[in-house]
Structure 1
Amino acid sequence: MKAYLAMQPGGPESLRLIETDKPIPGPEEVLVRVAAIGVNRVDAMQRSGAYPPPRGANNILGVECAGEVVGTGEQVETPSVGTRVIALVPAGAYAEFVAVHYSHTVETPADWTDAQAAAVIETFCTAHETVFELGRLKPGERALIHAVGSAVGSTAVRMASLRGAEVIGTAGSTEKVAQGLSIGARHVINYKEVDFAEELLRIWPEGVDFIEDFVGPAYFSRHLKVARWLGRITMVGLLSQGASNTDTAPIIGKRLSINGFTLRPQSIAEKTAIVGRFRDIWMPELSAGSIAPIIYAEVPFEQAEESHRIIEENRNFGKVILTI
């Protein structure tokens, strides 16, 4: 089969399409013929050498895909051969075939394209776990969600709005500010034009109940400033690097809760629970059309390098998909 590796750490040009053996599914795995692949920032980080795959995973890029089950392990009852599925994988999605634990798959709705299916599972699982499970966001509360143009950011905005929260977001262009407002954010701040914390406190002087943090150290002190009493912060990315020289007294004084989240290295059992929540809570909403993935571009599999350039240049609003 064909698959993508980063032969050595580097830019998008370091991606290489190789011929390798088709995986053999284990006893609790299914073999999926891949039709579409969700492109994520974690893929670019792995390619650049900043995020190695979890122990035991192969070096083929990609953490989510959609396709058809073409083989099953001896202990698998469902999904059966011929079923179209969405799959969450620790590695290996940038390939014509991938083996995945059966409990990390969700049946694709009959009226969905494979590109639609490939756009949801990693993004919706991450957004739900960070905003609602760790962030405990409730109706009527106020949330700061950064990077509203990113796949997870745009999903988190729509989820929070759908559940009755008020959202203030950040974006780096006038176009993305407008797009963020169009998907449910009450306010969107262009962080390249103003200090987002000062502007947020001008709009909402009492601050926010929840913060979805993709940035890390560079924003940490400002997050402590804008978080209100009993506020929650979920750290889900590190777009900035290094240490944060921050007065941590507000954590105690406001009784703040700070959690970290990463999906990829979690155990089979943990991911089974996460996928289960996605299936039970958000698949009905997705199937009913109450919420839908935003797809920025569908890129042919042979042009994976371009898909990474789109992500790294922040051109996208929503998801980038590779199609086979």
Structure 2
Amino acid sequence: MATIPTMMQAIVVKQPGKDSQLQTEQRAVPQPNVEQLLIKVAAAGVNRADLMQRRGLYPPPQGDSDILGLEVAGVVVAAGPQHKSWLGKAVFGLVPGGGYAEYALMHAGHAMAVPNGYSMAEAGATAEVFLTAYQLLCSIGNLQRGQQVLIHAGASGVGTAAIQLAKMRGANVAVTASSDDKLQACGALGADLLLNYTRCAFEQQLAQQWPEGVNLILDPVAADYISREIPLLAMDGKIVLYAMMGGRELPALDLALLFKRRGQLICSTLRNRSNKYKTNLTQAFISECGAALAQRQVRPILQQQFNWQQAEQAHQLMHSNATVGKLVLTF
């Protein structure tokens, strides 16, 4: 195996905030502890959390890397003593930060083998969105065959993954998106009901189409969406919030409607979960969906890959909301 250098190139945020800049910096190559793998990064997924972190709105948990990047794909070049079997293997998975660099640390329990035939860019586009979608739909939402699910931002990375997993579970899927092109992409993935929120009030359309109610709503918007969603819920339905793109504060909210439906309003994040939780989530996802992923029955939707030195362009494209699926940096 090639000698591991002591220094690496990494993309770091200068002056986090509205006017932040990305710069290349020399950093020491991190050393794996007994539970970690050192990955020579081939691809790093770009996520909206990266944009939030550079604005100072989503700081890394205490002790984690300040380098951006929450998922990578690459080759294992060093490992803790109990995990030497991973050496030389191509893997992908979540990292607690540090993905925008030539080398990154990954907890061994979070590593997944890159499926045969997948490019590193595809593998780098998989972990964050599929594990987030699996957590929301299955671990928290307990989505069952024949149930109704509403997925906001259907053309996003998480949205495109969630559509596929929901259909795999036999659910009926409604999505919202901002353009007909995005909705067409959602329909091609199996979404049953396509709602352009720029042209219609999604709650009115959904109430007409699914009068029996919605069992599960995946919501990255929050704000006034919540009061619009509660009347849509079927009995014992759940709204799972996983971001606050519309704002962190709610307009006046009548909780009586939520009580009437025995509804649940759940807030969920993945980054600050424990290593054990992420390991269990990764294992559950591979157990239920690994074969489908390998056979491309579910797959990452990769819109574009950028050389890692073009990270600023990738961030600008994501910020424009003109994407379908994922953007990836390649090293």
TM-score normalized by the length of structure 1: 0.97
The answer to whether 1:321 aligns with 2:311 is no
1:259 is matched with: 266
Are positions 1:173 and 2:179 aligned together?
A: yes
Query: Which residue is 1:31 aligned to?
Result: 38
Q: 1:60 aligns with which of 51, 67, 76?
A: 67
* Unaligned ranges ≥5, structure 2: 1-7
Aligned to 1:275: 282
Q: Which residue of 2 aligns with 1:50?
A: 57
**Residue 226 of structure 1 aligns to which amino acid in structure 2?**
L
- Contact kept? 2:14, 2:20, Cα under 8 Å: no
RMSD of Structure 2 on Structure 1 (CA):
1.3
Retained in 2: the 8 A contact 1:60–1:94?
A: yes
Q: Number of aligned pairs?
A: 323
Deviation at 1:133, TM superposition (A): 1.3
Distance 1:77 1:259 in 2: 39
Any conservation in 2 of the 1:36–1:322 contact (CA below 8 Å)?
yes
Given that 1:12 and 1:47 are in contact with CA atoms closer than 8 Å, whether structure 2 keeps it comes out as: no
| Structure 1 position 74, deviation (Å) | 2.6
Is the CA contact 1:300–1:322 (under 8 Å) kept in the aligned structure 2?
yes
Q: Is the 8 A contact 1:158 1:184 kept in 2?
A: yes
Alpha-carbon deviations, 1:62-111, whole Å to 9, x = none? 000000011112332431x2111112111000000011111111111232
- Alpha-carbon distance between aligned partners in 2 of 1:289 and 1:149, rounded to the nearest angstrom: 18
Corresponding residue for residue 233 of structure 1: 239
Q: Are positions 1:2 and 2:9 aligned together?
A: yes
Alignment partner of 1:299 is 2:303: no
Give every structure 1 segment of 4 or more consecutive aligned residues whose post-TM-superposition deviation is greater than 6 Å: none
Cα pair 1:12 1:305 within 8 Å, conserved: no
Q: Is the 8 A contact 2:20 2:55 kept in 1?
A: no
Matching residue of 2:4: none
1:10 Cα deviation from its structure 2 partner: 3.6
1:217 aligns to what SS in structure 2?
Answer: coil
- Counterparts of 2:213 and 2:45, CA distance in 1: 34
- How many angstroms apart in 2 are the aligned matches of 1:187 and 1:147? 13
Opposite residue 173 of structure 2, the aligned amino acid is V
Q: Secondary structure at the match of 1:36?
A: strand
Q: Distance in 2 between matches of 1:69 and 1:103?
A: 13
> In the alignment, is residue 205 of structure 1 matched against residue 211 of structure 2?
yes
Counterpart residue identity of residue 271, structure 1: K
Alignment match of 1:113 (pick from 111, 114, 119) = 119
Deviation at residue 207 of structure 1 after TM alignment: 2.1
> Is the 2:116–2:294 Cα contact (8 Å) retained in structure 1?
no
